Amino acid sequence: MQPTSTSFHAPERRRRTRAAGGALLASMLLLAACGGSGGGGSDGAKATTTVAAAPSTTAKAKEVVDETTTTTEAEPADANAMPTEEDDAPSSDWVMVRYKVSEDPPGDEFAPGLSDVRLYTIEPSCDGDTCDLALSGSGEGGTFNLPDLTEIGGDPLELAGGDEAWTQEEDVEPYGCSADLEGPYIDSHESRAFAPVRDGDGEIVALVGQATFVDSLNAAGKDAGCNIAEGEFSYTYDMVMVPETQLEGDLTFDVNGDFVQSLEVASSKGYEDEERFLAGGQSVTLPKFAFAVDGSCDAGDCQVDVSMPLPQKTQETEMTASDDGVLSVDQSTTSGCYDPKTGKDVFADGAYDGTGGVTEMLPIWVVDGEAQIFLGRYEHTAIPTELGKTHPACSTEQHIEGWVTWVSTDLIEDA
């Protein structure tokens, strides 16, 4: 299977990303066990058809607040109230997870739930009637990224306070339509809206909302020969942002649902033919390979089962908690292999022995006590077996590290 090529926007510059397409890749990203993935796909924008104007992110942000309870059991008196004083406005360091919920028109292998993480320092500016927000990178050196990932820097996001949400509308710098046609060929417009979520005491404990990006082929792109059928393409992310301080303390939550996992790659070896598995690459499990997570943690005492469907079997494992209050999930297994040059399976199983998994994991988003988004570090090493060594595509030791998010399919399906 060929991977889907698509693109996503960071606040500061554009990156390329690919959705995982192979069967092994779609099964919890036990990546190295397959000896790579099917490669291909354009680095540019996909063929598109004309779409209507992007949906209102302000309305979506309000809708998310109306339908979402807070991480406490108490019901806030007015979940839509906007602050007017700096003491009440969000500030300091926050973590944001955004996950893709739509493409228009959808790509051939559009995989909803593709997610990434950004780090922000929020600085409010209030005049007694409203508060605006400036969001700058809070990572080391001012980057917007998690540690060890390719650094992304740039100007802060400037969000204007409104009656129901903080919003931003912006035209960004045009970009190229393919690796061979780099130039100011595609115009891009982005819009964001964040609405506050308050706990029973009236404190803002989260920001939720939506970001929409609309890319349009311009006249220069047409003259340059960009191969885009109609000329406009849009994609939308839902967003959840919480204070970093909310991630401290004993782990207490329930979980019972299906999740998809996205990977942002920090480093790798043995994936030279797979751009998405090199540093800066990104992948997501396909919906049909969503995995079940069921159990609970009570003040760090965890009983959580994880059931991961692999191409030839289902792996049963457990989520465990360490003394320092973080979670881990073992993803060690034996697996098959397929040839990235042909995209065809070589061995169904037994080609690689893999070790690794997710560590330093924490629940980012908890609604009514139910964990719906997790964030953790990912590491996996795969050693070819004697069987694997009999085929060139399965003979290379592979190692990959990065960060993963687990997003509940309920969030994606309800979007």
Q: Which two tokens stand for residue 108?
A: 């051939």
In this prediction the pTM is: 0.82
Q: Which two tokens stand for residue 357?
A: 């998994």
Within-domain flag for 115: yes
272 and 241 within one domain: no
Within-domain flag for 350: yes
291 and 201 within one domain: no
Q: Which two tokens stand for residue 288?
A: 């049909």
Within-domain flag for 210: yes
| Domain boundary, last residue among 228, 247, 266 | 247
Read off the DSSP letter of residue 55. P
Domain boundaries, position 177: 57-247
> For residues 396 and 348, what is the distance between their CA atoms, to the nearest angstrom?
17
Mapping DSSP to helix (H, G, I), strand (E, B) and coil, where does residue 277 land?
helix
Read off the DSSP letter of residue 34. G
148 and 266 within one domain: no
CB 112 within 8 A of CB 101: yes
340 and 262 within one domain: yes
Q: Residue 18, CB half-sphere, CA atoms under 13 Å: how many?
A: 27
Within-domain flag for 1: no
Residue type, 169: E
H-state helical runs in 182-259: 219-224
| Domain boundary, last residue among 247, 272, 301 | 247
264 and 212 within one domain: no
269 and 135 within one domain: no
Q: Which two tokens stand for residue 320?
A: 């465990």
Residue 230's pLDDT is: 63
Number of structural domains in the chain? 2
286 and 388 within one domain: yes
100 and 173 within one domain: yes
Residue type, 134: A
Q: Which two tokens stand for residue 112?
A: 């909803």
Instruction: Identify the CA nearest to 71 among candidates 410, 411, 407, 369.
Output: 369
Instruction: Identify the CA nearest to 230 among candidates 109, 52, 56, 111.
Output: 52
Q: Which two tokens stand for residue 290?
A: 């969503």
116 and 103 within one domain: yes
Within-domain flag for 212: yes
269 and 242 within one domain: no
Instruction: Identify the CA nearest to 329 among candidates 369, 297, 299.
Output: 297
360 and 308 within one domain: yes
Within-domain flag for 299: yes
Instruction: Identify the CA nearest to 154 among candidates 280, 44, 15.
Output: 15
User: Which residues 6+ apart lie within 8 Å of 149 measured at CB?
Assistant: 264, 265, 266, 279, 280, 402, 403
- Greatest Cα pair distance in the chain: 72
Within-domain flag for 139: yes
User: Which residues 6+ apart lie within 8 Å of 79 measured at CB?
Assistant: 65, 66, 70, 196, 197, 198
CB 333 within 8 A of CB 357: no
| Domain boundary, last residue among 247, 278, 301 | 247
Q: Which two tokens stand for residue 303?
A: 């009983």
Mapping DSSP to helix (H, G, I), strand (E, B) and coil, where does residue 129 land?
coil
Within-domain flag for 159: yes
pLDDT tens, the chain, 415 aa long = 222 222 233 333 333 332 332 323 323 334 322 332 222 222 222 222 222 223 345 555 556 555 554 443 434 445 567 999 999 999 999 999 999 999 888 877 677 899 999 999 999 999 999 999 999 999 988 999 999 998 888 889 999 999 999 999 999 889 888 878 889 999 999 999 999 999 888 899 999 999 999 999 999 998 998 876 667 889 999 999 999 988 876 789 999 999 999 999 999 999 887 788 899 888 898 878 899 999 999 988 899 999 988 766 788 999 999 877 789 999 888 888 888 788 788 998 899 999 999 999 999 999 999 999 999 999 999 999 999 999 999 999 999 999 999 999 999 987 6
Q: For residue 380, with 0-12 CB atoms within 10 Å meaning exposed, 13-18 middle and 19 or more buried, which class applies?
A: buried
123 and 182 within one domain: yes
Q: Which two tokens stand for residue 330?
A: 């073992």
CB 277 within 8 A of CB 239: no
